[in-house]
Every structure is written in C-alpha cells, then in structure tokens.
Chain A
Amino acid sequence: MGKLRPIVASVPELIILILAIIAAYIIMAVFSNISDTEVLSSTSIFWILFGSFLISTFIAILAAVIGIGGGVIFTPIMMGFTSVDTMIIRATGLVVALFSGLISGGPFFKKGLANMKIVLYGAVPVTIGAMSGGLLAVYEDQMLGNTGDALVCLLLGLIVGSVCFLFIRGGNKTEFPEPKSIDSLSKKLGLNGYYWEESLQKPISYHITRAIPGFLLFFLVGLIGGFFGLGGGWAIVPVLNLVMATPLKVSAACSGVLLGIEGTSAIWPYILYGSLIGIFAVPWMAGQVVGGIIGAHILIKVRVAFVRNLLILILIFTSLKLILKGIEGFTEMDFPV
C-alpha cells in the first residue's frame, strides 16, 4: 500500500480509471440483466467477469515488473487448465499481452527506461512476424481443427518450457551485461543509451550489439507470439538482454512497449476472424491497463530478480500440463494431472 500512494499521486488518471471500473462493476451487480444458463448461474457469470479483472490486474503487475507481458502467463495457464477454445484463449491472450505493454509505454518512456531507437529497430520485424503468426493461427484453426488444438498445446508446452530454461540460465548475472564487442550495424545505428537506475541511484550507460541476429530473433518472437497468443515479452527480454546485451531493466521496459506494438499487429486477424469476444475480453483488458500502470511504476523502484523465480515455478508446471494435454489430444490417453 505504501508503494501505491506515490503512484496514485503521480498518476491521477489511474484513480479515475479505477473508480470508473468500480462503478461499472457495482452497476453491473445491481442492474444485471444476465440470466442463468444450463452451464452457469447469473451469479457465476458476474464473478467470472469480476474475477477476470482482478486476476488480470495481478498478472499485469507481475508481468510488467518482469517485462514478460501477461500473455505468457495467461495463455498457457488458460490453455492448460480450462476447456475454453484455443482461438478464444489466444485472442484474449493477445489482449492481455498487448494492453499492459501499450499502457506501460507512457511511464517507461517518461522515466527514460524505454529506448526509442531499440523499440523502433525491433518494431518492424516483430510486427511483421506477429501479423504472420496471427494469420497462421486462423489458417491452422480452419484447417486442422482438434488436431491443431492438440498440436498447439504440445508446442506451447515446449515453448513455455524453453522460456523457463532461458530465465533459469539468465539468472541475476544479466542485469547489467557488458558486450565484449559491438557490431558495425549497431554502431552505425547508434543503438546505445543511458538511464537512471533508481535502485542504485546512479546512471547506467549501455551499448547494444548483435543487431542482425536480434532483428531475426524479433521476427521469430513475433511469429510465435502472434500464433500462440503469447505476445512477445517472454522472449523479447532474453533477446535484448542475453543476445543484444541490453540492461535487464531497459530490456523489460523496451519489451513492454514492443510487445504492445507486436500485439496490435497480431490481434487483427483474430478480430477479423470473429475470435475476439468483446464481453469476455474487456475485464482482461481493463485489468491489464490498471495493472500495467501500477507495474510500470513499481518496475522503476524494485529489482526484478526475486519475482522471476516465482514465475519460473508456475511456468514449469504449466509447461508440463500443456505437454500432457497435447499428448492426450493426439493419443486419447488420459493423464490424471
């Protein structure tokens, strides 16, 4: 609560937004016109809408602090542990991924954490990849049906497992990486900068390297993020941090903005295909916006290493569940997990 007070003071619109959301839920609770169905009672439907907002807010804070985007938390967990259709999960997952990124762009730039050059350099490959990924998802859904769902679960499980591996290998040592050499393209483009590190109370300068491998990896990240509805924050941080030697906090901030930009390209095929269900997605969107603002301000204040360990545990479990679900889909075996 102590950390929230200065955020509220410096971001008055956050209070307006939170009040508007509270008012919206009170109005919906009092004047609700939703009715019982065979599957859910009207009370359950309301709590799904309200619970979605709360969970989304929590995910957004967690994701913004780590700089991974909420999609990598939302999509695998929803796909692994619920029966919701994979296309609806992926479309909503992109909402979760991109809105915390879009809303955190303002604070990240304002505080000098996000680097405009890095963001624009990554924006082109990541948006092209994301649009291609979104289109591929629509074609996969149309052509492969249930087999496609099983394949998506299996591949996503492997990807999430790989993400965990990346994070475990990354450790705390990559918080302030120092490149051994800087390639000529990075030099020509002037991919460097410096920022004020609040936790150390001193400025940190940095130089980016490996611009071409980074460019190609951004495309791949966009493709995977768009196809699976993960967004790209989960991999943009490792690409920036491990491959291009960007400080972890700058990586997290740039990643937040980039995954927002990436999501705006990836989500349109889902919207045009009718896979984004507005009423279902709005609570997740609202939670991401509120949580994204809070998370973006918390990131400036805290060191991120400790939060990562909690997420790694969650993702390892989710990865196993997804792999098993994928195998179940292909073999009709039933694992009691």
Chain B
Amino acid sequence: MNNEHRPAISRESLIFGGLLYWITMLGTLVAIAGMVLGIVTENNFSDPSGWISSIWEGRDTDETWHANARTGINAGIQYIEVKDDTLIINTQKDCSGTGYILNLADGKVKKTIQNQDTSEVKNSGGAQQESDLTVEYRGPGFAIKDVDGHAIGQGSVSTDTNPYGQQGEYTILGHASGNVDDDPENEVILIANQNQSYAGQVCIVEQNGEVISRYWNPGHVYVVKLYDINNDGKQELIFGATNRDQVWGDISTPAVYAFDPTANKAEMEVPPFQGNTEEGNPEWAAFPDTEEKPLNHWYLSHLTEGDGLATLGIAIGVFSGVPALIVSALVLFRRKWPVFGILALIAALVIITSMVGLMPLPG
C-alpha cells in the first residue's frame, strides 16, 4: 500500500488544530517570560519564594495568598488615631513608617500612606473620653489612682501560661481608660507583652485592680485606644499589634483589631483563632499589609509583574479553544455542515461563560 491512499486533511481540521497549537505556543512563551521576571526581579504581586514554600507545606489558597501577597513589612501597628469616619494607623509611633487609612466602621483599607506623609494624621479629631484615673506600672504590676492621687486598686497581668503554651514574665507598656461597660465607672485597659517571646495581651481591669477580661494576641501589642466607633454610646476597644498567625515563622504582619469589650467577659484570643482559648469575636480585624485572595481576572491589573504575566500566559493558552472553535464553526458553515458548526459555537459559548464568570462563585 502506498501513500496515495493517505486521507486528505480537511481545512477546518487544519485551522482548528493550528489555532490551538499556535495560541498555546504564544501563551507558553508569555508564561515563561512571566516566570523569569518573577524569579529574577522583585517585581511581583506576591513573593515567589514564600509562595512555593507555602504550597509545598500544604497551605491552602487563602492562607497562601494571605501569607505572600504582601509588601513585606515586618512590623506592627504603633500609632492609632481616629479622624471623622476613618482610622489612621502607622507602623511607627511618630508616623514615620508605613501608614494606612482604614474605614472606621469595617476596618477596610482605603489607602496606604508612603514616604512619611504625616500630614493626614495631624490635628485629628476623635471621640476619646477623658478619664479621671491615672495608672502606674512596672513590669507586670500596676497601680490605679483616682483623680486625687489616692491608690484605689492594684494587681498584675502575670499568668502561669498563655494560649501558645509559653511561660514567662510580661511588661506593661501602655494603657487607656474609659467606661467600656454598662456601669458608671471607668475601666482601665492595659497592654502587656511577654519578655521572652511573642505573646501580647490586652487586659480590661476594674478600678479595684481585678482583671475582668483578657485578650491574647499572637504577637506583641503596641498601642490601645478607646473610641465609640459605631455611635452606640459605648466605647469600643481598638488596638494595634503585630501578628504571626497571618504568616508564620519569624515574619510578622501589622494588625489592628476593634471590638466591643463588653461582649466577652473571659480569656480569649483575638483573631485569627489558632490558640487554645475562645475566639474574641471582634467587630473587625484588619491586616493592612496582606492581601485577600484575589478573585476573577486579577492578573489583568498586574501584567507588569512576574506572577501576573505568568498567569496571563496560562490564560492565553487556555483561551485558545475559543477562537479555534469559532473560526472552525465559520468554515463548517461555509462547507454546509451547519450541525457541526452549531456544535462548535455552543462549545465556544460554554467556555466563554466559564471564562467570564457568568456562573456565580461562592464568596
């Protein structure tokens, strides 16, 4: 048998196969360029080292994005101020670090302040109540005095252990005072950090020195403020900290929490809950240096970054089916094979439906 019996190849087959082939090839080259850009430069939406590591370690996609889609600030929030309906925070006490402007109501980051731009935090308003209490502290011990300077209570923030299984001493480094519950008396809020390790705590203390609530944080706490953030007549507690649970290892990310201190009267951990105590149920928790897992076609707005370009390359290859099917359909219609032309168009439509995201995704 010789080659004259070889079947002729139809035009639509060649067009269909050719489009799949060459568009996929183009996508591959773009994706490779993106991978190189991502590995040899710092021009990435996320950290490729951390990404590969966290994938390899078994972290899920949410955790992986949280951990790596970040600007890399290894610091805590040390400055908090309220101005109108916004919360202004900074990684340095004097506002010389990286700052963020958040919605006071839900903690969503509205803007990042770079280049030590402190103008937006000057002359801030705020609704912090004046307190008639003074507080003195040394190490883990504290003393509360009234307006006349008389000692009315004393105590310690020391504990035998913490939710992270650590033992050790604490040092109180800041306080706020105001009325955070339904009784007419002001309470004292103390923040204290463990000397030997990373645990931080926020204690709500009655005037007689009794600790009535304690919130744990997986990282040191730097600043605490009281504001009525929802205009219900009671002050909410806002504190700035660093958080190790959001990433892991020795890297920490800035964190700020807001919650109603009267909602819980127990020993709890502020989110994310990974310790042994009950969750603190905050009004909101914000990690301004981390990114939520991006949904939809996130890479289209990151095409100059390595990982964005790499994902675009994959998307180009994946897209190849659509033009291949549509062009083949046109050829099939011209060849008077309308049934197969229609089938090709339906398949293309299904892929487009999937690509555009017309079917709703959870979250």
Asked if B17 is an interface residue, CB under 8 A from chain A, the answer is yes
Question: Closest 3 interchain pairs by CB?
Answer: A106-B21, A109-B17, A83-B58
- Interface residue from A36, A42, A203, A278 paired with B311 (Cβ < 8 Å): A278
The reply to whether A201 and B21 contact each other, CB–CB distance below 8 Å, is: no
When distances are taken between beta carbons in the complex, the residues of chain A under 8 Å from B13 are 109, 112, 114, 116
The reply to whether A33 and B39 contact each other, CB–CB distance below 8 Å, is: yes
- Interface residue from A27, A42, A102 paired with B49 (Cβ < 8 Å): A42
- Interface residue from B249, B294, B350, B354 paired with A38 (Cβ < 8 Å): B249
The reply to whether B248 and A280 contact each other, CB–CB distance below 8 Å, is: no
Query: Closest chain B residue to A226 by CB distance?
Result: B354
What interface size band does chain A fall in? 35 or more
Asked if A15 is an interface residue, CB under 8 A from chain B, the answer is no
Complex Cα–Cα for A23 and B40 (A) = 13
When distances are taken between beta carbons in the complex, the residues of chain A under 8 Å from B60 are 85, 87-88
Complex Cα–Cα for A196 and B3 (A) = 9
When distances are taken between beta carbons in the complex, the residues of chain B under 8 Å from A123 are 325, 343-344, 347
When distances are taken between beta carbons in the complex, the residues of chain A under 8 Å from B53 are 37-40, 45
- Contact code string A124-144 (vs B, CB < 8 Å = 1, else 0): 100110110011001100110
Q: Show 16 residue pairs from A and B whose CB-CB distance is below 8 angstroms, ordered by the A residue.
A: A17-B29, A83-B57, A88-B60, A103-B20, A103-B24, A105-B16, A107-B21, A110-B9, A119-B16, A142-B363, A195-B7, A196-B7, A268-B354, A271-B315, A285-B313, A285-B317
Complex Cα–Cα for A40 and B57 (A) = 9
Complex Cα–Cα for A31 and B12 (A) = 45
When distances are taken between beta carbons in the complex, the residues of chain B under 8 Å from A110 are 9, 14, 17
- Interface residue from B36, B310, B347 paired with A27 (Cβ < 8 Å): B36
Given contact pairs A196-B5, A279-B310, A103 touches B25 in the complex (Cβ within 8 A): yes
When distances are taken between beta carbons in the complex, the residues of chain B under 8 Å from A143 are 362
Asked if A49 is an interface residue, CB under 8 A from chain B, the answer is yes
- Provide the main secondary structure of the chain B interface: helix
When distances are taken between beta carbons in the complex, the residues of chain A under 8 Å from B296 are 272
Complex Cα–Cα for A266 and B350 (A) = 10
When distances are taken between beta carbons in the complex, the residues of chain B under 8 Å from A260 are 20, 321
Query: Closest chain B residue to A31 by CB distance?
Result: B40
Query: Closest chain A residue to B24 by CB distance?
Result: A102
When distances are taken between beta carbons in the complex, the residues of chain B under 8 Å from A32 are 39-40
The reply to whether A24 and B354 contact each other, CB–CB distance below 8 Å, is: no
Asked if B99 is an interface residue, CB under 8 A from chain A, the answer is no
- Interface residue from B12, B17, B293, B318 paired with A98 (Cβ < 8 Å): B318
The reply to whether B49 and A36 contact each other, CB–CB distance below 8 Å, is: yes
Query: Closest chain B residue to A28 by CB distance?
Result: B39
Asked if A302 is an interface residue, CB under 8 A from chain B, the answer is no
